[in-house]
């Protein structure tokens, strides 16, 4: 029966191994021996002989040990060394086989080469991140005119306050109380400029996606401040209704701010045909059982119900100089955070864009990170 089993697994066009109930390698098919360029004896030492990439080994060992102990199937991705020394990504799955009384008699392991898929996925991810960066830079370009005002205004104010301090110093005797007050104003003005420049730099900087836990309400307030020059200029009244004690969310803070900035600028633009005094933007957050929900409501003309999905298509735009990339990028960012972004009609008029973000214990998609399912 051993011989017929061997010829059966040798006939499978894939890398197959058979393990003892305790996880020891019992046998592997010819394809594994050829792929790794190792003997069965050598493969038995897979934990120490470099067969598995050093960086992936601790995670694989942990998942594998847990699975063998609990008898629950495992699935994860890691790099495996080929006979020529090159590592390729593999999908590694193991399932236990039980006898009539339910005891595990052996484990079957299937290794599938996913190097090409992993590389293609990495390229798509890189492209998405390049697009997202381009979008941020172009949004900052759109904001440049109004942001330059935001910056020059406190600089002018700092100059006036510094002059005033000089004059108070020239007085006989110098009025040091006034000097102190004027200098405090200079510091305040400089901080305001510094904050705006920091925000711009964060948005324009090219950085790999990050996963961090942060206060979403605070991040929203920063974006509202950044967009204030545009919303003011367009006569939009902005209100925020941010839930108190909102759980922190996990993900890339700058990317999520980018989503909000896009939604706010779209809303401000959409409301331009509406008479002044009726351009209202409401940004709210709340929490439900699935996680955090953010809504951006406007009182513009709204979206034709037939186009509620189309607006997320790449290149779909109704603006003469639009690119139609904004919402498509926003959606891919929210997808990558395990959330959902959609548009609805606002009541009594306008559009509402909402997105969800899962609770902090949910996974943040990164296809290059080894995934596991036990
Ligand atoms: P762009 O702004 O370059 O057109 P987007 O992907 O951001 O690209 O938006 C696509 C289209 O969706 C816009 O051209 C517009 O027709 C529609 N849209 C987006 N936001 C709103 C909104 N708040 N109200 C009405 N229409 C909107």
How do residues 72-93 score in pLDDT, each as one tens digit? 999 999 999 999 999 999 999 9
* Closest C-alpha to ligand 1, atom 23: 267
| C-alpha 353 – ligand 1 centre gap (Å) | 11
Whether 362 shows a pLDDT value over 70: the answer reads no
In a mutational test of the pocket of ligand 1, which residue from 269, 317, 321 has the highest number of ligand atoms less than 8 Å from its CB?
317
Q: What is the pTM of this model?
A: 0.73
Superfamily (CATH H level) for 2-113: PAS domain (3.30.450.20)
Query: What's domain 122-357's architecture?
Result: 2-Layer Sandwich (3.30)
Q: Which residue has the tokens 């080929």?
A: 82
| C-alpha 317 – ligand 1 centre gap (Å) | 6
* Closest C-alpha to ligand 1, atom 20: 266
| C-alpha 142 – ligand 1 centre gap (Å) | 15
Question: Where in the chain does DSSP place strands (E)?
Answer: 15-19, 25-28, 74-81, 87-98, 104-113, 212-214, 237-242, 249-251, 280-288, 291-298, 340-345, 351-358
Whether 363 shows a pLDDT value over 70: the answer reads no
| C-alpha 266 – ligand 1 centre gap (Å) | 6
3-state secondary structure of 206: coil
pLDDT of residue 276: 82
3-state secondary structure of 371: coil
Buried b (16+ CB within 10 A) or exposed e, 208-247: ebeeeeeebbebbebbbebbbbbbeebebebeeebeeebe
- DSSP single-letter state for residue 52: B
Q: Is 151 exposed, middle or buried (0-12, 13-18, 19+ CB in 10 A)?
A: middle
Whether 241 shows a pLDDT value over 90: the answer reads yes
Q: So where are the chain's domains?
A: 2-113, 122-357
Alpha-carbon distance 334 to 179, whole Å?
50
* Closest C-alpha to ligand 1, atom 11: 317
Mean pLDDT of the chain: 91
Alpha-carbon distance 59 to 67, whole Å?
12
| C-alpha 263 – ligand 1 centre gap (Å) | 9
């Amino acid at each position: 029966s051993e011989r017929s089993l061997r010829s059966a697994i040798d006939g499978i066009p894939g890398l197959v191994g058979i393990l003892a109930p305790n996880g020891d390698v019992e046998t592997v098919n010819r394809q594994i021996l050829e792929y790794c360029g190792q003997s069965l004896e050598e493969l038995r030492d897979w934990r120490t002989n470099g067969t598995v990439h050093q960086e992936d080994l601790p995670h694989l060992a942990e998942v594998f040990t847990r699975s063998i102990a609990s008898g629950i199937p495992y699935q994860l991705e890691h790099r495996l060394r080929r006979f020529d020394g090159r590592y390729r990504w593999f999908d590694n799955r193991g399932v236990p086989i039980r006898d009539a009384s339910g005891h595990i008699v052996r484990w079957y392991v299937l290794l599938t080469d996913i190097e090409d898929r992993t590389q293609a996925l990495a390229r798509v991810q890189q492209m998405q991140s390049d697009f997202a960066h381009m979008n941020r830079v172009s949004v900052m370009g759109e904001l440049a005119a109004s942001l330059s005002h935001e910056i020059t205004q406190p600089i002018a104010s700092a100059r006036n306050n510094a002059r005033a301090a000089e004059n108070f110093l020239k007085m006989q005797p110098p009025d040091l109380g006034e000097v102190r007050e004027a200098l405090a104003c200079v510091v305040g003005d400089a901080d305001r400029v510094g904050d705006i420049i920091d925000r711009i730099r964060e948005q324009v900087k090219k950085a790999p996606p990050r996963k961090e836990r942060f206060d979403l309400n605070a991040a929203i307030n920063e974006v509202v401040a950044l967009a204030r020059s545009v919303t003011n200029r367009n006569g939009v009244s902005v209100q925020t209704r941010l839930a108190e004690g909102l759980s922190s969310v996990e993900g890339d803070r700058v990317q999520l701010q980018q989503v909000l900035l896009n939604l706010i600028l779209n809303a401000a633009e959409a409301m331009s045909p509406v008479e002044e005094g009726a351009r209202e933007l409401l940004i709210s957050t709340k929490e439900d059982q699935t996680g955090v929900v953010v809504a951006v409501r406007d009182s513009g003309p709204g979206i034709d119900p037939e186009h509620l999905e189309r607006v997320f298509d790449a290149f779909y735009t109704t603006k003469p100089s639009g690119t139609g990339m904004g919402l498509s990028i926003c959606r891919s960012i929210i997808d990558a955070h395990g959330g959902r972004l959609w548009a609805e009609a606002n009541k009594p008029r306008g559009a509402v864009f909402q997105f969800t973000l899962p609770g902090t214990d949910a996974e943040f998609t990164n296809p290059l990170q080894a995934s596991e399912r036990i």
